[in-house]
Amino acid sequence: MLPSFFAASVALLSLTGLAQAMPQGGFGGPGSGSQSSAVVSSSTVASSTSGSTVAASVSQAAESTSTVACNNSPDLCNRNYNNITHMGAHDAAFLRDSSTSYSTSGNQYYNATKALSAGLRLLQAQVHNSSGTLELCHTTCTLLDAGSLEAWLAEIKTWMDANTNEVVTILLVNSDDEDASSFGSVFEASGISTYGYTPTTTSGPISTWPTLQTLITANTRLVTFIASITYDSTYSYLLPEFTYMFETAYGVTSLSGFNCTLDRPSTVSSASVAVSSGYMGLVNHFADTAEAFGISIPDVTDIKTTNSASTNTTGTLGTQGAQCDSEWGLKPTFMLVDFWNVGPSIETADNLNGITATGRTSVSTDELSSSSSAGMRRDAKGWFNIVAVAMGVVAIGNFVWL
């Protein structure tokens, strides 16, 4: 059995020609090439799980928030952007649902626009250059490709068009070290650049960001950070991530492994130095499970604990949020999670922000999985592809999951 498995793997690798380094950033997941079907229109957004369907009017939500609330709460309107905890979807484009045959690499059960409608305001994704097109790919485009960055941004713009009192943050991993002009042309083509915010300084961290209301009034409601990019004044709304924020460690494989120690950027010595210098803190709170061949996949087994708002349980989102708040002297500005609907993760952000939210779409907090044998077979196929990719990169001595 094993010789046949390895032979098949080698054959697959020879066809796909995998010979590239892995990108920096968090562990991603598979994407759906059909995300356009999940665009939030001005009429209805629906999510389905366990045979039940929850529908809500996005136009009604936009109307309610446009008069009394900013990012789903009137209490947030006059708060500075960096004095709010923005809950985020890690690898937001890479789904574990029927469109990806419930791939074991998937980081989210629901797509980006459903995340926004449910209250998340930070979307993170990996970007690769695939034959000249910026694609949303999980680790490599051979493993899983969620479609073009332009199409994804256009869907987010559609949501922002319908929700005029909402400030959204996008964080992109620049896996192939593309320059700002490559990203800028895509942002402009999607139309979302019209919402782009340019800060008052682009040379270092900012201690006081505008309030949400200021950003909303100016209609500069999109804040975009890109890792490993050089600032370009032509695209002044594309901000180098580590000029403004620091991150805790990712790739945690034990629920006791979450902490508030600065992991990046290497140019800053500690979290306390970063905070005192005006950097915003990003907490990576997603756990991985170590598998064979040195592969790590998203830890679903513990996800209810991982995303829990409890502040007195090891490994929970609430515990890490409270710990960082205590150690840093201020709450995290950003938090990234896998399977954001479970928990639900947004409760931790609401607790840190001290708000009772309004105008959100209800989404099931259940885990999604395939119950059919056919679905299980497709999932096994997805696992085979992951192993094949891993073996190919190990063979060239360049294997790193991020």
Write out the catalytic residue numbers.
Answer: 90, 138
DSSP 279-294: PEEEEE--BEEE-GGG
Residue 85 token pair: 């905890």
DSSP 207: S
**Cβ–Cβ < 8 Å for 191, 154:** yes
**Cβ–Cβ < 8 Å for 156, 192:** yes
**Cβ–Cβ < 8 Å for 336, 90:** yes
**Cβ–Cβ < 8 Å for 276, 290:** no
Cα(96)–Cα(30) distance, integer angstroms = 7
**Cβ–Cβ < 8 Å for 264, 192:** no
Cβ atoms within 10 Å of 238's Cβ, excluding its own:
24
Residue 133 token pair: 């097109």
Element (H, E) at 391: helix 373-395
Cα(250)–Cα(334) distance, integer angstroms = 14
**Cβ–Cβ < 8 Å for 76, 69:** yes
Element (H, E) at 185: helix 180-190
